[in-house]
Amino acid sequence: MAPPQELVGYFLVGTPLSRNSLRARSFLKPLAALTTTELSTWIQQAKTQALQGRVPERIPRLAQANPNWFAVHICCESGTSYSQGDTSCVFPLMSAIKPFSLLYLLEHLGAKTVLQWVGVKPSDAAFNSLEQLMADGGRPRNPMINSGAITLADKLPGKNPGDRTQLFCQWLNQLAGCDLSLDEVMLASVRSTRSKANQAIAHYLTQTQHLKNLETALDTYEQICCLSGQVEDLALLGKLLACESGCLNPQNRRIVNAVMLTCGLYEASAEFAVRIGLPMKSGVGGGLLAIVPNQGAIACYSPALDSVGNPVVGLSFVEALSQELQLSIFA
């Protein structure tokens, strides 16, 4: 039962109760009971971690990012949102797009078909590991690593890579109310230093009959990785996975969230399932998305990455938020 409005306000601002008892009595879900003071404190603490990471050098355009940039946007189920930091920065989603290409295909083709193409098993190898793919005989372990995402890029609907990317981007923008667009400068930079690991993966996928068209698959993969937006756009995308909206099949949302929890941070996924306890996805562009089921989504942008390829400041911030607000899905 919803509390009277004046009661909510009273408990939020009017009493010296400790935060936890205040939250328990405020009737608000933990994420929506966050205060902007808490947010600022946890951001400041997390930002001290930036020195532990490095901005990736492989893609020249990404290498220009400032390791000290940080932005967060949180969208709550209730419609409340929080935004702090360098929120006007536009960044490419890179691997943070992977949960959404999975979702898109699940919605269009169904789980039975999609899960014939990719597995749902975690991998303890790097996100672009050819060895893992070879050990598995060419069947991608999961859609959160490059082999799986390249395989799914091969199956996206549309005549050619540009058309596929546009259709996918329109679908996301319409459904999430976000404003993603293709960053052509970033795409040119990605193409100018095309990843050898991704090429080797695509060749092996072709040899083992997992790809219909190698060039289409790789080009589509590179294009969807360059879909770009602000941290708010990433949070709005996350809200699709966090909250029931009537637009998506709940079973598909459950699949994507489960795969994010177990595979979204690559070989560090299990460690962060224990430390944070939320479905998450990172991208080499510095984006990090955390899903708080039935409460909302947390999106961060912090370009410095750890050795696994996950954004250090974003992870440190989400860990503080999850522990302080007790957001873990494991109660």
Binding site for ligand GLN (CB under 6 A): 94-95, 127-128, 146, 195, 198, 225, 283-284, 309
CB of 226 to ligand GLN, least distance (A): 8
CB of 267 to ligand GLN, least distance (A): 12
CB of 218 to ligand GLN, least distance (A): 10
Which residue of the chain is nearest ligand GLN when measured via CB? 95
The count of residues in the chain is 331
CB 193 within 8 A of CB 60: yes
d(CA 123, CA 46): 28
CB of 92 to ligand GLN, least distance (A): 8
For 54, list phi and psi in degrees, rounded to 5.
-135, 145
Q: Which two tokens stand for residue 278?
A: 């939320």
Q: Which two tokens stand for residue 1?
A: 């039962």
| Smaller CB separation from ligand GLN, 26 or 165 | 165
| Smaller CB separation from ligand GLN, 132 or 295 | 132
CB of 307 to ligand GLN, least distance (A): 13
Beta strands 91-92 and 71-76 are unpaired
Closest CA to 132 of 222, 258, 263, 226: 263
| Smaller CB separation from ligand GLN, 279 or 283 | 283
| Smaller CB separation from ligand GLN, 94 or 114 | 94
DSSP, collapsed to helix, strand or coil, labels residue 2 as coil
| Smaller CB separation from ligand GLN, 28 or 187 | 187
Dihedral of CA atoms 180, 164, 225, 212 in degrees, nearest 10, equals: 170
